[in-house]
Structure 1
């Protein structure tokens, strides 16, 4: 995913990095290994921050009735009322979604960058990737991955938000059947539009900032090949990338989550007033009503626990992905 230069540089361990391929196509083995690395990276990173992910969603969908008022208070409240198991509620579904999502996202980004570099060289250029090209490739990769796994995100959101006193879903398949049976098949895609709009800057900035920061470190240090970058350097770059991307896209994430809960009585205790579940007619209605009834700050509910979640999550995902690729001997990096 970074920018190998194809030279016979030695890594910090004294091992020469594999020579990058510059053709348009990838071998089936490279694709399989990259998908595995991306999937594992996604599962590990999300599980590590699962309680914070659940707290973020609960804070996003609660209305003026404040149940969760802060990170520590929210975590203690969940642990006290639902136990450790409750803190990880929805994580299994989240992993079922994030593993293929992460796998497709990383592989798509790598292949897009590979194709762009190839085309630039064919036109007489040096194949260097600019921040803008990385942003565009990341945006496309994120959109494809998110769209392919969106129904699982919808189900995960419902399972995550429900609590024992209001919940009525017993598992992934039961939740899916209930949503389709009671709200129609299209309900599985509720909130997809703000998700697409939000994923463009979020994933795009994640990749662009991460890759650009790595390049900057290499240029400003004695490092001659990105394989010499320490894990801590990669974690730091991933943390900055995740924070920037999430800040820009967060309001749309709030809208997406509220639309997913729209009309569902199981979330009544969290975001309903007067005994009725809130129903939104669309993205614009959800956005305007949220701001009108709760103020502009409502679009950033749960942002602080999300920062605490995003910093390690994105960092772990990037670092794990690249280390797994190195361990498996797959090289998708293209020349910068």
Structure 2
């Protein structure tokens, strides 16, 4: 492989550099939007203490204020350590896989098609999910804890103990393979990540290609960061809207063990419970703050990824 200045470097060095760039981008983006992410999770899981804030931008701001009042500033970042434990390796693996797969599918610009871009993004989404999903579940469990639901501040260990004690009637498979407790909601997450990640990179690559075709090299060079921020925001917003119902189902399944610790809640039962409670609108609960979060998340992540790759000569 060649770096940005034409120097040769090994596959191992490429993977290390690409992983560092991706991990940096993922960690930076998640830290920037962590407070919004916690509010979104509380709304998506129909938390009784926060459901009154759903349905408006003002409600989202009030929810942030309420967290600070009841749990202090640290409450905005509850579970954030687990977020980083998941986000950094997930982004490192994901962006590295994307770099490799996209080059394999489209070695030259003439090979680039929408189908190849979508496929590369989908493979990226699936690559790190099995490894990092348990961190996601633990983080969600910590995020849904509130001052009223628990008298003590949640810790990763308390969340792990709670998860391991759930689903006792889940059947012989769960009894034989206890680690499956940490994959509650994994199937719907996998179903959602294919169109979600695929859509992000499809929009990202397509708009970047169109921008390169329409603007002069000098204009691109002068405005590259701003262009990447805008395209990243558009890519994240588009995929978020299309796949949001699956995300609500996933979050609800992940949090369901708090209410039904004796058994695992399946996909159909989760869908039915959301529909009975709120109708079709229930599948879009928290979408407003979700978009408010996703716009900066992907704008920051994709732009930071490009800047880090440039700094590391990838």
Please give the TM-score of this superposition, normalised by the length of structure 1: 0.81
Q: For 1:308 and 1:87, how far apart are their aligned partners in 2? A: 16
Residue number among 3, 9, 21 corresponding to 1:37 in the alignment: 21
Partner of 1:241: 235
Q: How far is the alpha carbon of 1:170 from its aligned partner? A: 3.7
1:314 paired residue number: 298
Tell me the distance in 1 between the aligned counterparts of 2:17 and 2:195: 27
Q: Which residue of 2 aligns with 1:101?
A: 90
* Distance in 2 (alpha carbons) for counterparts of 1:311 and 1:278: 38
Alignment-derived partner of residue 53 in structure 2? 68
Q: Which residue of structure 1 aligns with residue 117 of structure 2?
A: 134
Give the Å deviation of 1:200: 0.8
Q: Structure 1 stretch 298-307 or stretch 143-152: which is displaced more?
A: 143-152
Post-superposition CA distance 1:187-209 (Å, at most 9, x none):
21010111011111111111110
Alignment of 1:100-179 (within 5 A): 100-118=89-107, 127-167=110-150, 170-179=154-163
| Cα-Cα RMSD | 2.6
Distance 1:226 1:285 in 2: 50
Alpha-carbon spacing, 1:205–1:316, altered in 2? closer, same or farther (3 Å): same
Distance across 2 between alignment mates of 1:61 and 1:80: 21
- Runs (4+) of structure 1 exceeding 4 A deviation are 224-229, 276-280
Tell me, yes or no, if the aligned pair for 1:139 and 1:200 is still in contact at 8 Å: yes
CA distance change for structure 1 residues 51 and 105 in 2, over 3 Å: closer, same or farther? same
Name stretches of at least 5 consecutive residues in structure 1 with no aligned partner: 1-5, 7-15, 266-275, 331-336
CA offset at residue 182 of structure 1? 4.1
User: Cα gap change, 1:19/1:284 in structure 2, threshold over 3 Å: closer, same or farther?
Assistant: farther
Measure, in 2, the Cα distance between the counterparts of 1:298 and 1:20.
53
**Number of residue pairs matched by the alignment:** 297
Measured at CA, do residues 170 and 255 of structure 1 come closer, stay the same or move farther in structure 2, by a change above 3 Å? same
Contact 1:218 1:224 in 2 (8 A): no
Which stretch of structure 1 is more off in the superposition, 109-118 or 53-62? 109-118
Q: How does 1:18-57 map to 2 (within 5 A)?
A: 18-19=5-6, 27-57=11-41
Partner of 2:172: none
Partners of 1:192 and 1:180 lie apart in 2 by: 16
